[in-house]
């Protein structure tokens, strides 16, 4: 697996491409950034859902034990 570039290294590469574009006359291609927020929110909701489910199961287990 390839090692991930740091944010600084990525930015440096972008700037190098931009400067090279100034001298050659070719505009540097801008990469589209992935939408991270949607993934993060989905993962967080999943965790909350699991926690609620576990809490409910624990509660029903206690009730069954009391009877």
Strand blocks (E) in 1-67:
none
Instruction: List per-residue pLDDT tens for the chain, 67 residues long.
Output: 567 778 899 999 989 988 888 888 776 666 666 667 777 888 888 888 888 888 888 777 777 776 6
Domain residue limits at 55:
34-67
Specify whether 61 is located in the same domain as 39.
Answer: yes
CA distance 60 to 58: 6
Give the pLDDT score at 8.
93
Give the pLDDT score at 12.
92
> Can you read off the two tokens belonging to residue 42?
């989905």
Specify whether 38 is located in the same domain as 67.
Answer: yes
Q: With contact defined as beta carbons under 8 Å apart, do 14 and 28 qualify?
A: yes
CA 7 remoteness from chain centre = 14
Give the pLDDT score at 34.
67
Specify whether 61 is located in the same domain as 43.
Answer: yes
State the total domains in the chain.
2
Give the pLDDT score at 54.
84
Specify whether 25 is located in the same domain as 43.
Answer: no
Specify whether 43 is located in the same domain as 66.
Answer: yes
């Amino acid at each position: 697996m390839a090692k991930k570039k740091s944010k600084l290294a990525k930015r440096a590469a972008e700037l190098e491409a931009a400067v090279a574009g100034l001298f050659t006359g070719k505009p540097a291609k801008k990469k589209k950034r992935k939408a991270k927020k949607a993934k993060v929110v989905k993962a967080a909701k999943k965790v909350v859902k699991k926690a609620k489910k576990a809490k409910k199961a624990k509660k029903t287990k206690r009730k069954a034990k009391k009877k």
